[in-house]
Chains A and B, each alone.
Chain A
Amino acid sequence: MRVTQSMLSSNMLRNLSNSYNKMGTLQEQITSGKKITRPSQDPVVAMKGIGYRTNLDKVEQYQRNLGEATNWLDSSDDALDKVGLALQRVQELVTQASTDTLTPDDRLKVQKEIAQVKEQIRDLGNTKVGDKYLFSGTKTLEPLFVGGSVAGESSSPLPGTPTNIAYTNDVSIEVYDNVEIKVNSNGYEVFHGIENVLNDLETVFLATPNSGSDFDGFLGEISNLQNTVLEERADIGARQNRVEMMENRLSTQEVIVTKQLSNNEDIDYEKSITELISQESVHRASLSVGSRIIQPTLVDFLR
């Protein structure tokens, strides 16, 4: 084959431009840390990348949701703990009141304290975290107790049912695909029960005359109330366990998805830099070969 200067120079140009292209791709890979920047470089990687990103976003979001769930459960548990303590105080006071050595005046003093405890329990029933009332079911912007009665109840005397069923509704949070955890406690049931007993107690206290035996039934009722609160807390505890388990699962999931995402589209720096260096030397070689090949012709030697 007859070889001419133009062939050599066009070949050299093409080789150089191929070499530049390869270096450009490597440079792009190294600066972005990604194997590909456009789908055509590897359609499978691109397609999977979209899926993995979505999965990763999901895991991140579910972790955030879990934080929210933890917040609900911890706050509810804390409030119910305080309700339990308050009930304990009521128990002590009623025990005291059931002693026949107490005068009606003394009992009136005890009643005053119980009235205070009742107020305290109502305050606990209106516990807020951020903007939300924890025990108002899905009516989170409305307090459970309004003006001394349970909100939404049609009328005294108790017991009644809430006019708005929303007060007894569950609030749940999604913590994984189609996995929802109920995060509130049934405040209406608990506080409504306590309110009933305490109201009855008040009636007895205020009745004249009253004797120690009038309070006999109440100790049992109070202990029932304490049990209800404990049951609710046990339920919260169980749900906290689920949340923790989910947290563990999600952090494992996060590691897995991040790894998949990384395996799918991140470059191996050692490999890419090595490739860049070898490509650089190829490029230098083709430049120097080019300068040698193009230069001399017969023209340089004829005189």
Chain B
Amino acid sequence: MRSTFMGLEASKRGLFTQQSALYTTGHNIANANTQGYSRQRVNMQPTLGYPGTGLNAPKTAGFIGTGVEAHSVQRIRDGFIDRQYRQETNKLGYWESRSQAITQMEDILSEPSEFGLNESLNQFWKSLQDLSTNPENAGARKVVIQRGTAVAESFNYIHTQLSDIQANIKNELRVSTKDINSMLEQIASLNGQIAAIEPNGYMPNDLYDARDNLLDELSEYFPLEISYDKSGGGALDIAEGIVNVSIQTKTGAIAVVAGKDFSEMTTSLTSTETYEDYGQITFSSVGNATGGNYAYSDMPINKGKILSLIDSYGRGPAGAEVGYYPSMLENLNDMAKAFADEFNSVHQSGFSLPDELTGNSSTGLNFFEDGSGGTAITAANIIVANNLLTNPSLVAASNANAEEGNGQNALDLSNTKFTQLTVGTTTNTTVQTFYQSIIGQLGVDGEQANRLTYNSETIKMAVANNKASVSAVSLDEEMTNMITFQQAYNASARMITVVDETLDKIINGMGRVGI
């Protein structure tokens, strides 16, 4: 036999449940602009019908419903899209960082322009041509010295600036390491909180969101592999469980977060400005987070900002560095060295203005020198020889002793820009064509990086739209839901009135026949 007040109870449940749905709608609206927020939905289900099943259950005509309950609050999200989003974030992380590194390099080299290295070489060439036509002229000599200094300073400037940017990249790596470690710790800590809540039958949606946000951010640095372990106890089926994070490598995965355990990343970077072998990114082993060495050779190509930063900064032992900045610096060093050596050898074979006292010319002098006192000229240390700076008449414009009107050697010096040389490992090139080729290469690399950055941005945007399509809050939808829930609430309330009137009939209207 059903209870008299059962209708009241069923309607009360309706009121409560619609109310919680309304509150969730309110939560969604409130978080409409929260980064990484996924909309939530109250999963409603009918409460068990009356009568329950069992041997001693009363036999009645129907199985009467007893109302509704809010079974769970679930966030609406698509794991596949999350995975795709992280993959694209990862690619973008690589190309964006590379594109930035190349852009900065382009800014420093500033070619083609009226103030790049090529222009200073051209100006130097011009001044030598002027000297060849006026070898006896002290002014022309001073101009040659000044333009030569400008060439040396252009090399020095480019080298210093590139080295500074390289140091910044190194710093970015260091900061990234801290950032990554902090994220690993936070993910593990969220795992801990989630593992404490889920067994009680709750869905810690906002914690899931926070954790997914962290995973999105972390995937910018590395290609990730993510797996889940279900919580035990009273955890709901739809509860997501704790997350295990591994870094993909070519040879296997490195587990960096497992439950509450997390690894700490260390690079072998020290504060001294030397290159070190990047075979040595190490993730410590803590509990189930087994960690391991993340060797450069194990990193999947073109994936993740860490790899990109290493590619730009360079790696390998001193003297055998590889990487984008080291190779550009090496090219510049090779170019400065090949040019200065060739220039010096021509200069050595020439003769200066004859000395006023002896009437004889000096010969065998260097024009460029290693400013650091050594003998190996590089882009960083190239300077114009000091004795020439103080005495421009020592510039060897003549190809014979005591001939002040002979400018042949100045002519030969001017042509060193176009002499076939071996620059580094490139044979049969000229300083001019070698420089053109490195700028061309820079341009091609930059173009590729920019294009792939744009492409991965576009794809990421498309995936982000897919993600938003599933998880983002639509105010129109929430409004519609709000009205739906409000009306359902009102209807439940009206139901209570109906039950009230029914009871009024029983209580006040019955047994009064004839009165």
- With contact pairs A38-B103, A61-B125 given, residues A166 and B446 touching in the complex (Cβ less than 8 Å): no
Most buried by A among B130, B407, B474, B483: B474
Does A220 reach chain B (CB closer than 8 Å)?
Answer: no
Q: Whole-angstrom distance between the alpha carbons of A11 and B400 in the complex?
A: 73
Q: Using Cβ atoms and an 8 Å threshold, which residues of chain A touch B469?
A: 1-4, 7
Does B200 reach chain A (CB closer than 8 Å)?
Answer: no
Q: Whole-angstrom distance between the alpha carbons of A164 and B406 in the complex?
A: 14
Contact B435 A40 (CB under 8 A): no
Size category, A interface: 35 or more
CB neighbors of B among A31-85 (8 A): 36, 38-47, 49-51, 53-54, 57-58, 60-62, 64-65, 68-69
Q: Whole-angstrom distance between the alpha carbons of A51 and B445 in the complex?
A: 20
Q: Could you say which of A10, A169, A298 contacts B464, with CB atoms under 8 Å apart?
A: A10
Does A173 reach chain B (CB closer than 8 Å)?
Answer: yes
Closest Cβ–Cβ distance, residue A89 to chain B (whole Å)? 31
Q: Whole-angstrom distance between the alpha carbons of A20 and B132 in the complex?
A: 51
Does B136 reach chain A (CB closer than 8 Å)?
Answer: yes
Q: Could you say which of A4, A139, A171 contacts B473, with CB atoms under 8 Å apart?
A: A4
Does A5 reach chain B (CB closer than 8 Å)?
Answer: yes
Q: Using Cβ atoms and an 8 Å threshold, which residues of chain A touch B33?
A: 6
Most buried by B among A4, A49, A65: A4
Q: Using Cβ atoms and an 8 Å threshold, which residues of chain A touch B132?
A: 65, 173-174
Q: Which of A102-110, A130-138, A241-249 contacts B (4 or more CB under 8 A)?
A: A130-138
Contact A40 B405 (CB under 8 A): no
Q: Whole-angstrom distance between the alpha carbons of A57 and B116 in the complex?
A: 14
Contact A132 B136 (CB under 8 A): yes
Does A140 reach chain B (CB closer than 8 Å)?
Answer: yes
Q: Using Cβ atoms and an 8 Å threshold, which residues of chain B touch A47?
A: 436-437, 439-440, 443
The digit string for A1-34, where 1 denotes a CB below 8 A from any CB of B, is: 1111111001100100000000000000000000
Closest Cβ–Cβ distance, residue A166 to chain B (whole Å)? 5
Q: Using Cβ atoms and an 8 Å threshold, which residues of chain B touch A41?
A: 443, 447
Does B449 reach chain A (CB closer than 8 Å)?
Answer: yes
Closest Cβ–Cβ distance, residue B135 to chain A (whole Å)? 8
Closest Cβ–Cβ distance, residue B395 to chain A (whole Å)? 15
Does B226 reach chain A (CB closer than 8 Å)?
Answer: no
Contact B403 A169 (CB under 8 A): yes
Closest Cβ–Cβ distance, residue B73 to chain A (whole Å)? 20
Q: Could you say which of A39, A51, A138, A141 contacts B443, with CB atoms under 8 Å apart?
A: A39
Q: Using Cβ atoms and an 8 Å threshold, which residues of chain A touch B447?
A: 40-43
Contact A53 B470 (CB under 8 A): no
- Judged by DSSP, the binding face of B is helix
Contact B106 A302 (CB under 8 A): no
Q: Using Cβ atoms and an 8 Å threshold, which residues of chain A touch B450?
A: 40
Most buried by B among A43, A58, A62: A43
Tally of chain B residues near chain A (CB < 8 A): 62
CB neighbors of B among A237-293 (8 A): 265
Q: Whole-angstrom distance between the alpha carbons of A40 and B110 in the complex?
A: 11
Q: Could you say which of A6, A14, A46, A265 contacts B439, with CB atoms under 8 Å apart?
A: A46
CB neighbors of A among B176-235 (8 A): none
Q: Using Cβ atoms and an 8 Å threshold, which residues of chain B touch A7?
A: 465, 468-469, 472
Contact B133 A6 (CB under 8 A): no
Q: Could you say which of A40, A54, A62, A65 contacts B102, with CB atoms under 8 Å apart?
A: A40
Does A208 reach chain B (CB closer than 8 Å)?
Answer: no
Contact A10 B118 (CB under 8 A): no
Does A101 reach chain B (CB closer than 8 Å)?
Answer: no
Q: Whole-angstrom distance between the alpha carbons of A298 and B475 in the complex?
A: 7
Does B402 reach chain A (CB closer than 8 Å)?
Answer: yes
Q: Whole-angstrom distance between the alpha carbons of A61 and B132 in the complex?
A: 11
The digit string for B87-116, where 1 denotes a CB below 8 A from any CB of A, is: 000000000000000110011010110000
Q: Using Cβ atoms and an 8 Å threshold, which residues of chain A touch B125?
A: 57-58, 61
Contact A166 B406 (CB under 8 A): yes
Does A297 reach chain B (CB closer than 8 Å)?
Answer: yes
Q: Whole-angstrom distance between the alpha carbons of A169 and B403 in the complex?
A: 9
Q: Whole-angstrom distance between the alpha carbons of A4 and B39 in the complex?
A: 11
Does B48 reach chain A (CB closer than 8 Å)?
Answer: no
Contact B432 A54 (CB under 8 A): yes
Closest Cβ–Cβ distance, residue B216 to chain A (whole Å)? 15
Contact B129 A40 (CB under 8 A): no
Contact B122 A53 (CB under 8 A): yes
Q: Whole-angstrom distance between the alpha carbons of A155 and B385 in the complex?
A: 42
Contact B474 A299 (CB under 8 A): no
Q: Could you say which of A46, A140, A298 contacts B404, with CB atoms under 8 Å apart?
A: A140
Residue of A nearest to B129 (CB): A61
Contact B476 A298 (CB under 8 A): yes
Q: Using Cβ atoms and an 8 Å threshold, which residues of chain A touch B442?
A: 39-40, 43
Q: Could you say which of A46, A173, A302 contacts B133, with CB atoms under 8 Å apart?
A: A173
Contact B473 A50 (CB under 8 A): no
Q: Using Cβ atoms and an 8 Å threshold, which residues of chain B touch A3?
A: 469, 474
Q: Could you say which of A11, A49, A138, A265 contacts B465, with CB atoms under 8 Å apart?
A: A11
Q: Using Cβ atoms and an 8 Å threshold, which residues of chain B touch A6?
A: 32-33, 468, 472-473
Q: Using Cβ atoms and an 8 Å threshold, which residues of chain B touch A1?
A: 469
Residue of B nearest to A5 (CB): B475
Q: Using Cβ atoms and an 8 Å threshold, which residues of chain B touch A69?
A: 133
Contact B468 A4 (CB under 8 A): yes
Q: Whole-angstrom distance between the alpha carbons of A141 and B408 in the complex?
A: 16
The digit string for A125-156, where 1 denotes a CB below 8 A from any CB of B, is: 00000111000111111000000000000000
- Starting from the known contacts A7-B468, A53-B118, A68-B133, 12 additional A-B residue pairs (CB-CB under 8 Å) come to A1-B469, A40-B445, A41-B443, A41-B447, A43-B443, A46-B443, A47-B436, A50-B439, A57-B125, A64-B130, A65-B129, A131-B137
Q: List 18 A-B contacts (CB under 8 A).
A: A4-B468, A6-B472, A7-B472, A38-B106, A39-B109, A42-B443, A43-B439, A44-B443, A47-B440, A49-B112, A53-B118, A57-B122, A68-B134, A136-B405, A139-B404, A141-B136, A169-B403, A174-B411
